[in-house]
Amino acid sequence: MIALRAWAGKHFAVLGLARSGAATVRALVAGRARVTAWDSDAEKRDALITPSPLPGETHLGETPAPHPTLSPEGRGLLTVADLDGLDLATVDALVVSPGVPLNTHPLAAKARAADVPIVGDIELFAQARADLPAHKVVGITGTNGKSTTTALVHHILDTAGVPAQMGGNIGLPILAQEPLPAGGVYVLELSSYQIDLTRTLDCDVAVLLNVTPDHLDRYDGFGAYAASKARLFAMQSRAHLAVVDYEAEAEHGVLDDAPEGLNIRFIDGVPLPGDPARWPSLQGPHNEQNAKAAVAVCEALGIDAATIERALETFVGLPHRMERIATLNGVAWINDSKATNPESAAPALAAFPRIHWILGGKVKGDDLNACVAHLDHVVRAYTIGEGGPRFAEVLRGQVPVAEVETLERAVKLAAQEAVRGEVVLLSPAAASFDQFRDFEARGAAFRAAVEALA
């Protein structure tokens, strides 16, 4: 795991003990910090201390346990206790999960009032860089495409034989991973929430793929959301590289706070090596944008064109992102569960001529405007989840609509109606949290329902 000697003796409060939170606690304790940790989910609290005990005593309770003093044996490093009664005057930083809404959570307000820094695991990684062998960091953000681009950059580096780790909003939490040898590259997918919790991450290459309205319940308007993404460039040093979507710069001035002397490359102007028809997992205009960004990053890291071209051809894509899971009786079944907003569903609609479209969930807005240009590809729409009635109302009169409520019913009805040469596409244009734990669980349920047809 990645830890920092300078954390020793400091006191961190950690709120949220899912994967990244639990990894954060372990890294901090490994760095000899005092940690008070809490999650409202008792199973997550228990999981932190039961399967893999940390060094030192642990205390589990509904109210804060006493904070033991450090000893030479390292006992008393971890307290698992409700943070509501924590004396923030004793805390050097509050470490929160990206899922914690900083704009509404009362503990965040208390920390701000007490002038306690509020950070996330990416900021702790940034602090730990001083103890790591010489390396570079690539940070990739954007409303859509960041997972694919992050995985593609990692794949190109791996193809080139460059030691690389992939983390952030994808894969294992970055603090849980082993440090790379000298010359390695950390490739981080960064959501706006993670950037909000980061103060000092100086990326050697920072990427902004696009900015479209999303997560507006956490921001004071679209401009504030775009400004959150732009902070990735503001943290960079002179002479490092920003790879930027031109529209994002033209419309939102995302480079306004970037340092003078920052190198800039616009994604649209990046030439692609080889023949895109030979890249089976990178089809469609959205993936052309992702590929251009990845090429710009890897060229900056010194990867030669022949290696990049070979890696583009061998990239297999990611689960839940335009993933072909079956072909039954000549009908292709595509899992695009990661499309959690209309802007990310639109490229999937553009990719196929005759689509049976399954959409709906916890909607992030009242319209499907981004998808309108491709509705002529839709044979029929099947709406599910909390947002199903709203989406059905928007689509009715433009395409045939069936309000089926559940994913399982949508699959069964689409199987009856789709004919050879057509596609059944799960591209929900909405979040999953009304009916599923996350988009991955939704995609897994879609796969299971399709497999049950065979």
pLDDT above 90 covers a percentage of the chain that reads 78
What pLDDT is stored for residue 285 in this prediction?
82
Report, in this order, helix, strand and coil percent for the chain, each rounded to 5: 40, 20, 45
Q: Is 169 a catalytic residue?
A: yes
What average pLDDT score do residues 238-252 get? 97
| Helix 19-30 vs helix 42-49: crossing angle, to nearest 10 | 30
Q: Identify residue 87 by its one-letter amino acid code.
A: D
What phi and psi values does residue 437 have, to the nearest 5 degrees? -65, -40
Q: Above 50 in pLDDT, residue 61? A: no
What pLDDT is stored for residue 316 in this prediction?
87
Tens of pLDDT, residue by residue over 345-356, are 998 999 899 999
pLDDT band at 368 (very low <50, low <70, confident <90, very high): very high
What pLDDT is stored for residue 317 in this prediction?
85
Tens of pLDDT, residue by residue over 276-317, are 989 978 887 889 999 999 999 999 999 999 999 999 999 988
CB 190 within 8 A of CB 141: yes
- Of 136, 144, 169, 374, the catalytic one is 169
pLDDT band at 318 (very low <50, low <70, confident <90, very high): confident
Distances (CA, A) of 297 to 104, 212, 216, 254, 268: 36, 22, 29, 18, 13
What average pLDDT score do residues 230-244 get? 97
Architecture of the domain defined by 5-119? 3-Layer(aba) Sandwich (3.40)
* Domain(s) of CATH 3.40.1190.10: residues in the chain: 124-314
What pLDDT is stored for residue 76 in this prediction?
60
What pLDDT is stored for residue 213 in this prediction?
80
* Domain(s) of CATH 3.90.190.20: residues in the chain: 323-451
Instruction: Give me the helices (H) in 165-255, please.
Output: 192-196, 222-234, 246-252
* Domain(s) of CATH 3.40.50.720: residues in the chain: 5-119
E strand or H helix that includes residue 414 = helix 407-417
Question: Which pTM was predicted?
Answer: 0.82
The whole-chain average pLDDT of the chain stands at: 91
Can you name the CATH fold of 323-451?
A: Protein-Tyrosine Phosphatase; Chain A (3.90.190)
Query: Looking at 288-435, which runs of residues are DSSP E strands?
Result: 323-328, 331-335, 355-360, 378-384, 401-405, 423-426
Tens of pLDDT, residue by residue over 72-117, are 334 468 899 899 889 999 999 999 998 888 888 899 999 999 999 9
What pLDDT is stored for residue 377 in this prediction?
97
What phi and psi values does residue 282 have, to the nearest 5 degrees? -130, 40
By mean pLDDT, which of 100-114, 228-242, 373-387 is the weakest? 100-114
Q: Above 90 in pLDDT, residue 261? A: yes
| Helix 121-128 vs helix 19-30: crossing angle, to nearest 10 | 30
Q: Is 362 a catalytic residue?
A: no
Tens of pLDDT, residue by residue over 388-433, are 999 999 999 999 999 999 999 999 999 999 999 999 999 999 999 9
What pLDDT is stored for residue 50 in this prediction?
59
Bridge partners, residue 402, by sequence: 382
Q: Is domain 124-314 in CATH 3.30.300.20, yes or no?
A: no
E strand or H helix that includes residue 12 = strand 11-15
What phi and psi values does residue 60 have, to the nearest 5 degrees? -120, 125
Q: Rounded distance, CA 103 to CA 348, Å? A: 33
What pLDDT is stored for residue 58 in this prediction?
43
What pLDDT is stored for residue 219 in this prediction?
87
What pLDDT is stored for residue 280 in this prediction?
79
Tens of pLDDT, residue by residue over 356-366, are 999 999 998 77
- Of 59, 67, 215, 362, the catalytic one is 215
Q: Is 364 a catalytic residue?
A: no
